[in-house]
Amino acid sequence: MYRYDSFDQALVNERVEQFRGQTRRFLAGELNEEEFRPLRLMNGLYIQRHAPMLRVSIPYGLLSSDQLRMLAHIARTYDRGFGHFTTRQNIQYNWPQLERVPDILADLAKVEMHAMQTSGNCIRNITSDHLAGVAADELTDPRPYCELIRQWATLHPEFSYLPRKFKIAVSASDKDRAAIRVHDIGLQIVRNDAGELGFEVYVGGGLGRTPIVGERISDFVPVRELISYLEAILRVYNLNGRRDNMHKARIKILVRAMGIEAFRDQVEAEWQHLRHDPELQLEEEDVAYMRGFFQPPAYDTDAGEGDLQAQLDADRAFANWHRHNTEAHRQDGYRAVFLSLKAPAIAPGDMTDRQMDAVADLAERFGFGEVRVTHTQNLVLADVRKDQLHALWQALRDLNLATPNIGTMTDMIACPGLDFCSLANAGSIDVAKDINERFDNIDYLYDLGDIRLNMSGCMNACGHHHVGHIGILGVDKKGQEFYQITVGGSSSNDAGMGERIGPAVPKDQVADTLESILHTFVEHREGDEPLLDTYRRIGVKPFKEAAYA
């Protein structure tokens, strides 16, 4: 993984001291709330329902065991003993004290971490494929490019007061696991006919109040010119994006208003001025240097399977976990292991300090000391020897991190909802709990196949409800919590928004409605087809009719 040099470290340390000064000036009344707001937001700090909320950046979801231990330390020392992993592969703390945030940031800096640009109208954390570097369908490791983009975006002088937030995701695989089509900019690494690497670029995707699938703005931007192309897009957006209405300020609104052709023309015109600037060109040396940080670990090429087959045969619970919570690996003798943060009765994505410390130990014992955060709010140990899977499973089970539900309906994405968030209209945590209680038969869930259930507590869509195969959106109806339910969304290569099945239902009917959707699915399903395929074949009508019969 990337390690800071003295330059990176100095910048992060200086950022901590800058924010310490800003916090002091705010508390002394020298900065008013409005002036302090963007400064704290660009250091990850929100003012929330109960207390400030601090969002810590985890670039492209990659953590060392020492960094995870620091996250545990922060949860224990400054919070109430847990943290919440997010769809941007970050972690949030819900109970820090404003006065102590500079100390938290100083602790983070000790392990090469920060909270810069996790909020505010600037370029946010760069996200990517949680299986980067180990996926079989990968063209090249996207993470060196993510890090180059991260550095370019950090404290960018021109693009730190944009009309609105700006999210970039990078994928290099056939299967899009980074949801690039619902980002402000989505980058797909491709190879052209001449064999050169470059980027297929999507622009103007996003969820929130106005969900839009991004459009392709370029088939191929050479690696050398990536940064200048990004600058051209950002500049056109910075100068032309709406600033009069924050709900219409994202780049997707601008792209839609101009039309992709006119937007592309402006970007191309701007790019002609930027692309020849040597300062903005990525040299082969830059990429090679960055690539050096993401070399495969020292795999044991003789690693066999050990007793794996016998262990699988002997224990159905282990076999279930192996089948659902582990994935094929590029290296013989290894698998990637998912740690489910979706145990029943646990808020999706939450983790305690004790679990974090224990996983840090397990990462060192079984996974070369690295952990990844997925945008579906789970963790991954990417490089585990097959003959050690059983031992790891036992350890994870003791930690309540081995719920064998990855990819099933209870592996749901959920925002913190009304319990924590001051934007939310409705709770998500107790709905998740209801769903877990209703659908507690794991064999039934397995029979249903892959179902992505996404839930947001308001239309800001932090839980990506539009792109869930099943989506749940919390709304406020005269002070009551209601839930709109959609089917048929996807954030993958075939990205699209789900379709509403009917009027919102009260909280105590969400599980019933889901049950009706699942019955309709099973009734119409052909063979083993996934829910998404059934929906695309039969449309929303049968789901609607059954749910509101």
What's the min distance (Å) between Cβ of 318 and other proteins? 47
Note whether 238 binds other proteins by CB under 8 A.
yes
User: Which of residues 162 and 451 has its CB atom nearest to other proteins in the complex?
Assistant: 162
C-beta of 224 vs 385, nearer to other proteins:
224
Stretch that binds other proteins, among 101-109, 236-244, 392-400, 471-479 (CB under 8 A): 236-244
Per CB under 8 A, does 31 bind other proteins?
yes
d(CA 256, CA 248): 11
CA distance 77 to 96: 9
Q: Quick one: which of 1, 115, 126, 162 contacts other proteins (CB under 8 A)? A: 162
Told to check if 158 binds other proteins by CB under 8 A, we report: yes
Query: Is there a contact between 68 and 85 (Cβ–Cβ < 8 Å)?
Result: no
Alpha-carbon distance 295 to 312, whole Å?
Answer: 32
Taking the complex as a whole, how short is the minimal distance between the CB of residue 391 and other proteins, in angstroms?
39
Q: Which residues 6+ apart lie within 8 Å of 29 measured at CB?
A: none
Cα 354 to chain centroid distance, Å, stands at 23
Which amino acid, 507?
K
In angstroms, the CA 460 to CA 247 distance is 10
Distance CA 54, CA 34 (A): 18
- 244 contributes a contact to other proteins by CB under 8 A: no
Tell me if 491 sits within 8 A of 413, measured CB to CB: no
CB 495 within 8 A of CB 179: yes
Nearest to 389 by CA among 439, 318, 444, 458: 318
Give the residue with the Cβ less far from other proteins, 250 or 335. Answer: 250
Report the 10 Å Cβ neighbour count for 519: 13
Interface with other proteins (CB under 8 A), residue from 76, 156, 242, 330: 156
Site membership for other proteins, residue 285 (CB under 8 A): yes
Residue 522 C-beta: closest distance to other proteins, Å: 52
Least CB distance to other proteins at residue 37 (A) = 9
Is residue 11 a contact residue for other proteins (CB under 8 A)?
yes
Residues 420 and 82: their CA atoms lie apart, in Å, by 13
Q: How many residues bind other proteins (CB under 8 A)?
A: 39
Cα distances (angstroms) measured from residue 104 to each of 74, 76, 137, 189: 7, 11, 39, 36
Binding mask 99-118 for other proteins (x = CB under 8 A): --------------------
> Which listed residue (27, 35, 137, 300) binds other proteins by CB under 8 A?
35
Nearest approach, Cβ of residue 282 and other proteins (Å): 9
Note the residues at the interface with other proteins (CB under 8 A).
5-7, 10-11, 14-15, 17-18, 21-22, 31, 35, 38-39, 121, 151-152, 154-163, 235, 238-239, 243, 273, 277, 279, 283, 285-286, 289
